[in-house]
Structure 1
Amino acid sequence: MGLSLGGFMLLIDVTIVNTALPRMATSLDASFTSLQWVVDVYAVALAALLLVAGSVADLYGRRRVFTGGLVLFAVASLACGLAPDVGTLIAARTVQGIGAAGVFAANAPLITAVYSGRDRGIAFGVWGAVNGAAAGCGLALGGLLTEYLNWRWIFFVNLPLTAIALWITFRSISESRAPGSARARVDWLGAVLFTLAAGALTYGLVRGGDAGWGDTRAVASLVTAGVAALVFVLVERRHRAPLLDLSLLRNRSFAVLMITALLAQAAAFTHFVYSALWAQSVLGMSPLSAGLAMLPMAGVSFLVAAVWGSRLQRMRPQYPLGIGVLVIGVGVLLQTMVAPGSSWTALLPGCVVIGVGVGMALTVLIAAALAAVPPHRAGVASGAVNTFRQLGYALGVAVLGTLFASRVHEVLTGHGVAPGAAEAAGSGRAAQAGVPMHLVREAFAAGLDRIFVVCGAAALLTGVAVLLFVRARDTAGHGDGHGHGNAAGHGNGAGNGHGPEAVSGAGAASGVPAQSAPVVSGASGARGA
């Protein structure tokens, strides 16, 4: 219960801010770019630190990292709620993401250590269902708290939940580490380089969209990201225990799956940030109504996964994954029906179809990655998938924000609106800027149309690539119920032949199907059933 509650909180905070953005903009006099960072900096910190947090958890204790992450997350949530300005809010959201990385990285390995046999399967089923419901609940809960209390309560609510999660964890969960971890070392240089590359790339994209692509800071950030990524590759190739085992990317199927994790996450979810802004700023919907309008996607995806999940797991994973991503693309393109005079119901058909695709595709994404690699690489494979998913959300928000804002700005300035007023209208402050509402409706519809086309096209191309290039290995028979159950490496799942290597908690020895037990870090697997 404590582990599921902790995971639920950190995942819900990815989307809970979406329906509060217009109120934040008004309360803090925040620009559109600042709103992007409120959403994005949390996902960037979470994605950049997931792998190293998994390594630290395996070396120094999973419960210690989990509870430490919870405390840091709670303190940062308090700072977010008390933030007097948008700069302070962004800084606190960064710290929230750091705490969330510790919680998320240690979550699944702790379940693996605490439960065994059939109980582990049940535990992972509950954990997966709770995580799956988090995105939709975030939209609705964010709207509820913002409308009836204040937007600051979307952060304050984390405090009692954290206290409950800590109490349960200390009462029921003992400390655990990866066997052989005393001989292991954390790849700190790789962690710094990966974090620098992810952060600089996101900043460069947001800055370029705001200040122009010739802006010195934007160019410098993008160059820094490229150099950091190149050095990261060189360092990881030479490290005995790399943060990310790049040799796995030589496997064409695995490489395509990492791209799929990145693009499918971006295509399926990031446009909801701007749909929620449209629903409140243009349609005048309340935060709660806007959140509930986006809820059908989460509800349908949960039903598809619950009703058809076991059947999907028995298929070769590239088929439900590829078809599911194609369905996501179709659903996003259906949302281009939004016009200047549309109501929120224009989004409904697309939301339902996206939900079907998400329920199909993301249910088997981990399974596809695990099937594409040898069993002893399962830990690092699942860690990489989750890292790329979070990175996809962060980069998706940055890219779509640039496309959306530029299109809104083009339409408004084309009608003679001053650039400053156009920027204010794009962040939901049209009334303050004195921009006529019929122009705002036209501009927002054009902006949404652009990002829906981009997301839909990306999903369609990704789905085709999965069907053409992913060929799942038959890993049945590798787990004999004994041999892998006791093997474990340290958190980075080093697969280089030096020392014991990471095995997912989904190992055959645990009695849990691999696809049902994603290990978030390169974290160790089971200690045996």
Structure 2
Amino acid sequence: MRGGREADASGGVRASGIRSSARCWLVGLAVGLALADSSIVTLALPDILRELDVDITTVSWVLTSFNLALALAALPAALIARRRPSAAFTTGTIAFALASLACGLAPSFGVLVGARVVQAVGAALLVTAALELLSETTGSDARAARVWVAAGILGAAIGPAAGGILTELAGWESIFLMQVPLSLLPLAALGGMPVRPRVTATGWPQLNANAALLLLSGGLVAALFLLVLLLVEGWGMSPAAAGLVVTVMPLAAIAAGRVVASQRDSLRVRATSGIVLVAGGLAGLALLPRAGWWWTLAPQLLVGAGIGLALAALTERAVVGRGDQVVHGGWTLTARHVGVVLGLLLLTPVLTAALDRNEDEAVRAGAAEVLDSRIPALDKLRLAQDVLDEVRSAEQRGELPDVETVFEDRPGSDEYGALLAALRSQLQRAVTNAFSSSFLLAAALSLGALVPATLIRGRPI
């Protein structure tokens, strides 16, 4: 803990301008918005894929580009922010807002990805500078770190839900256009704030905490990205409905954070407990008995509670009392977003291969359903061929097949309705099984964070 800042607080220094609590909210809003962008477009990916005419592998770069650029920019941004925090926050905020506008108006996929990279650089500047601004506002490095951590966790966890609802209501472009005015609002926090740069000895990063953050963040890719894809693409939910379903995780994270605030458990206990909860929740998602959003609620509760415990504890250990706090905040951002990129690179090919395998099984099972159905015999062969054509067409589009389109021009009798329900059930079962391997791998990746986390020492700060 740096004594200078705490001494200032005990001496009665008060932030001028707007009230400190309002300033904390504004700076926290900036951090939450910036880090929400690591996951906010997840539910918009299918629409982006169709509208910008790219395949499923290419469209993933909307996520990967942001997280990779943020991981690379975080430490250089922190080195800038430690010397000129107000300027870094202002520059980062304006860059983030302009890049968000460019994303919302992007005429092509290349422009969208390029703007996402600029977004990430702006996010790196404003998020690292925010840590110093919060220290100035609260008069305490420890309290500043807790606000900073909480804002980042909530932003990343709420991102998919917010993105899904906006995509459903106003299209994927609205995700970015909405961010423009909201991201500029926190600039009001700088009014009347005399921020004095503090350049102190930085020291080495806390390797155990950052390694655990990296592995845990890699596993959380399954909860923050793959789960929403399962709900929308696999089970046919609307983006808005899926967004509401995944609000369970941020709510659980908030609840866990409030419980922890009243306890005095060691950082290691909180971190390891949270990691076990996350891994258990991901394993639960891998073992879903059948398709149905209600089956995901209990695993989501575990993952959310684990996020509230582990991410907060690991980040506190990596940042608080570590010399130059801003630079160590940059290290945690790097670790978390390298983990996200690692998770995307590991889990995406596993999911793609599993979808191919299970799709073949679903086609065979679907053919059997058609042949065993009570529809007219002559239509069985035509319908089976139409279903096969839709499967092949969807594979070329990089999407999951939509069997309902095959039935649009066919009679609405009970026989056809029963067959459609059976085919939909077969497809949902195949997709659910395909996601299982990715969730299990994510659980193992998260559980790997226990190794460095058990080496952490330290009481709550």
TM-score normalised by length of structure 2: 0.77
1:48 maps to which residue? Answer: 72
Q: Is the Cα contact below 8 Å between 1:409 and 1:443 reproduced in 2? A: no
DSSP-derived class of the 2:236 partner: coil
- Find 2:198's aligned residue among 166, 175, 178: 178
* Aligned positions of 1:2-151 closer than 5 A: 2-59=26-83, 61-116=84-139, 125-151=146-172
Gaps of 5+ in 2: 1-22, 365-387, 408-422
Distance 2:405 2:51 in 1: 15
Gaps of 5+ in 1: 181-240, 249-253, 475-512, 516-529
Distance 2:434 2:167 in 1: 25
Deviations 1:272-320 (A, max 9, x none): 3122122112322111111111111111111111122341xx3332222
Deviation at 1:438, TM superposition (A): 5.4
Q: Is the Cα contact below 8 Å between 2:128 and 2:329 reproduced in 1? A: no
- For the structure 1 residues 30 and 297, does the alpha-carbon distance in structure 2 shift closer, same or farther, using more than 3 Å as the test? same
* Aligned positions of 1:122-521 closer than 5 A: 125-166=146-187, 168-179=188-199, 254-311=206-263, 314-338=264-288, 341-369=290-318, 375-376=322-323, 380-413=327-360, 415=363, 421=393, 423-424=395-396, 427-428=399-400, 430=402, 437=424, 440-464=427-451, 466-467=453-454, 470-472=455-457, 515=461
Distance 1:82 1:391 in 2: 28
Deviations 1:80-133 (A, max 9, x none): 11112222211111111111111111110122234425xx76665554443332
Instruction: Say what the alpha-carbon RMSD is for the aligned residues.
Output: 3.0
DSSP-derived class of the 1:29 partner: coil
Quote the sequence identity (%).
26
Deviates more, 1:133-142 or 1:345-354: 133-142
Distance 2:251 2:243 in 1: 13
Q: Is the Cα contact below 8 Å between 1:405 and 1:426 reproduced in 2? A: no
- For the structure 1 residues 368 and 310, does the alpha-carbon distance in structure 2 shift closer, same or farther, using more than 3 Å as the test? farther
Q: Is the Cα contact below 8 Å between 2:145 and 2:319 reproduced in 1? A: no
Distance 1:140 1:27 in 2: 21
- For the structure 1 residues 131 and 376, does the alpha-carbon distance in structure 2 shift closer, same or farther, using more than 3 Å as the test? closer
Distance 1:405 1:306 in 2: 38
Distance 2:184 2:176 in 1: 14
Distance 2:57 2:64 in 1: 10
Distance 1:429 1:95 in 2: 35
- For the structure 1 residues 152 and 429, does the alpha-carbon distance in structure 2 shift closer, same or farther, using more than 3 Å as the test? farther
- For the structure 1 residues 94 and 471, does the alpha-carbon distance in structure 2 shift closer, same or farther, using more than 3 Å as the test? closer
Q: Is the Cα contact below 8 Å between 2:213 and 2:449 reproduced in 1? A: no
DSSP-derived class of the 1:172 partner: coil
Distance 2:208 2:405 in 1: 45
Q: Is the Cα contact below 8 Å between 1:72 and 1:96 reproduced in 2? A: yes
1:492 maps to which residue? Answer: none
Deviation at 1:43, TM superposition (A): 1.0
TM-score normalised by length of structure 1: 0.68
Distance 1:14 1:83 in 2: 18
Q: Is the Cα contact below 8 Å between 2:221 and 2:340 reproduced in 1? A: yes
Q: Is the Cα contact below 8 Å between 2:248 and 2:300 reproduced in 1? A: yes
Q: Is the Cα contact below 8 Å between 2:100 and 2:119 reproduced in 1? A: yes
Distance 1:349 1:115 in 2: 36
Deviation at 1:448, TM superposition (A): 1.0
Distance 2:318 2:40 in 1: 29
2:374 maps to which residue? Answer: none
Distance 1:440 1:380 in 2: 49
Deviation at 1:441, TM superposition (A): 2.5
| Count of equivalent residues | 397
